[in-house]
Amino acid sequence: MSGPIVDARGVHKHFGALHVLKGVDLRVAERELVFVIGPSGSGKSTLLRCLNRLEEPSAGSVVVDGIDMLDPRTDINHARQRIGMVFQSFNLYPHMTALGNVTLALRKVAGKSRADAEALGRAALERVGLADRAGHTPGQLSGGQQQRVAIARSIALEPRVMLFDEPTSALDPELVGSVLEVMRSLRESGMTMIVVSHEMGFARNAADRVLFMDEGAIVEEGPPAAIFERPAHERTRAFIGQIQRH
Amino acid sequence: MSRWDRFTETFLNTKVMARYLPDILSGVLVTIELALLVVVTGLAAGLSLALLRSLGIRPLNWLIIFIVDLFRSLPPLVVIVLIYFGLPSVGLSPSGFVSTWLSLGFVLMAFSEEIFWAGITSVARGQWEAARSTGLSFGQTLRHVVLPQAFRLTIPPLTNRTIAITKGTALGTVVAVTEILGQASSAMSNSYNPSPLMLGAAAYLVLFLPVVVAARWVETRFAWKR
């Protein structure tokens, strides 16, 4: 397939009087890792959430893996299986074990038997380095481990695209590395990824492209080196300056 | 006759107790029957209303809120009297038993709907989003992710309310239901002795203590490891 795997055009989103996305275009090729940066309130998360229709765009089109996500005839639950999402606050199900978290959608959406789901679930936990924590509940895991279980929950469904919404922002600094490590290995396995994050070091090493968003629009985009070292816009320069001072 | 003898003669009169024990026991059966019906139908109706409310259909939710607020404000006794004496005027004449069941059932429905609803809304938005992002439907998310967490939060207030309302079965006496209190008070007036009332009190204890203990067990079972 040569076309983009994610093709969003002219995406607008209003929350009441608030105009959060002002006609955003985003095309992502297969195996590409796109990084989205920008000040809080710039619409990065909303853009991500419009891609799997957790938010309903007010206007525009979103096509993922050839499926028109906004067509009312699209089976959205089926389509969402192809789009993994990882959240800032992990959002693991606290009443289930790590394995239970990973296998729920495998059993209920993908229709696997319990045995098949558990085999796939264990394999996914193995990939994030937590095979030995399968029987632990989220409350018994560190933040970094919880986020890795959340990643396993998504990749177990074998998505075509993974969306990361500030995956390390809620973590203690010493736990960030383990999550980035998992993301790096995902990247090496060829996963298409769209990452909203301020982990500049990771972006520099792993990203193919960096988008800078401000006030609901993409201000500029380019390879990480260009955006970080020679930003074309004053707003980008100011933002990157602020981030790097910390 | 010492004071203590006079006290036992009046309140713990074994002869009177023995004579009216069968009546009290039949009252226990009626109370159990009534309580079970109220709990099962009241909680089922309350949960159904809370689930309906979660669909977010505005006019329907206004109706649910109106009904729930109505039955939470009215004293159960008033509801019993309204149903028992009021329905015959529209051609229905429910027995005292059915009137009491319906009334307490409606009241438990109203309170439990609010408790279930509070439980459902207390589950973080992120839980919904995580589940929906993996492709689970609204119903599957509710059933597998939200309700198990909501139930755990609702169990303590729900058991309190359930116990309070099942004790309301005693209100059935005003419409001639022969449950524990009804049997005890008629035995009391027949024997000119309040001992049957003590027997009735003992029956309530024997009935409800296990329920309280069971509730505690359910609470610990639903708590998850941290």
pLDDT digits (tens), chain A, 246 positions: 468 999 999 999 999 999 999 999 999 999 999 999 999 889 999 999 999 999 999 999 999 999 999 999 999 999 999 999 999 999 999 999 999 999 999 999 999 999 999 999 999 999 999 999 999 999 999 999 999 999 999 999 999 999 999 999 999 988 999 999 999 999 999 999 999 998 888 999 899 999 999 999 999 999 999 999 899 999 999 998 888 766
Minimum-distance CB partner of B126 among A77, A91, A157: A91
Q: Which of B19-28, B116-125, B147-156 has the highest mean pLDDT?
A: B116-125
- The contact set of B with A (CB < 8 A) is 124, 126-127, 129-137, 140, 144-145, 148-149, 152, 224-226
CA neighbor of A218 nearest in space, from A14, A8, A54:
A8
Query: Do the beta carbons of residue A105 and residue A153 sit within 8 Å?
Result: yes
- Give Rg (Cα) of chain A: 18
Amino acid at A32: E
Confidence of residue B155 (pLDDT cuts 50, 70, 90): confident
Supply A214's token pair.
């401000």
State the pLDDT at residue B219: 76
Q: Which residues of B touch A154 (CB under 8 A)?
A: 133-134
Query: Do the beta carbons of residue A67 and residue A18 sit within 8 Å?
Result: no
**Using the beta-carbon criterion (under 8 Å), do B127 and A140 form an inter-chain contact?**
no
Query: Do the beta carbons of residue A224 and residue A203 sit within 8 Å?
Result: yes
ipTM of the complex: 0.92
Cα gap B137→B55, rounded to integer Å: 13
Select the residue from A77, A78, A107, A141 to test the B interface by mutation, using most B Cβ atoms within 10 A. A77
State the pLDDT at residue B12: 86
Q: Which residues of A touch B225 (CB under 8 A)?
A: 137, 139-140
Cα gap A186→A177, rounded to integer Å: 14
Q: Is A151 on the interface with B (CB under 8 A)?
A: no
Higher per-residue confidence, B213 vs B137: B137
State the pLDDT at residue B135: 95
State the pLDDT at residue B225: 54
Minimum-distance CB partner of A139 among B145, B149, B226: B226
State the pLDDT at residue A2: 63
**Using the beta-carbon criterion (under 8 Å), do B149 and A109 form an inter-chain contact?**
no
Cα gap A70→A52, rounded to integer Å: 9
Residue of B nearest to A141 (CA): B226
CA neighbor of A151 nearest in space, from A162, A138, A166:
A162
SS3 state of residue A148: helix
Place of tokens 């922002």: A169
State the pLDDT at residue B224: 62
State the pLDDT at residue B174: 86
State the pLDDT at residue B9: 86
Q: What is the pTM of this model?
A: 0.85
State the pLDDT at residue A83: 96
Query: Do the beta carbons of residue B133 and residue A52 sit within 8 Å?
Result: yes
User: Parallel, antiparallel, or unpaired for β A161-165 and A192-196?
Assistant: parallel
Percent of chain B with pLDDT over 70: 98
**Using the beta-carbon criterion (under 8 Å), do B148 and A95 form an inter-chain contact?**
yes
Confidence of residue B215 (pLDDT cuts 50, 70, 90): confident
SS3 state of residue B137: coil
**Using the beta-carbon criterion (under 8 Å), do B226 and A153 form an inter-chain contact?**
no
Residue of A nearest to B148 (CA): A95
Residues 6+ apart with CB under 8 A from A37: A44, A196, A197, A198, A200, A203, A210, A211, A212, A213, A239, A240, A243
| pLDDT tens profile B182-212 | 898 899 889 898 999 999 999 989 988 888 8
State the pLDDT at residue B226: 52
In this predicted structure, the answer to whether residue B161 has a pLDDT above a threshold of 70 is: yes
Span B3-17, mean pLDDT?
A: 87
Residue of B nearest to A104 (CA): B144
State the pLDDT at residue A243: 80
| pLDDT tens profile B70-109 | 999 999 999 999 999 999 888 888 999 999 999 999 999 9
CA neighbor of B157 nearest in space, from B219, B211, B103, B209:
B219
How far, in Å, are A58, B28, B69, B140 from residue B12 at the CA level? 76, 19, 43, 57
State the pLDDT at residue B163: 84
Minimum-distance CB partner of B129 among A87, A104, A110: A87
The DSSP code for B88 is G
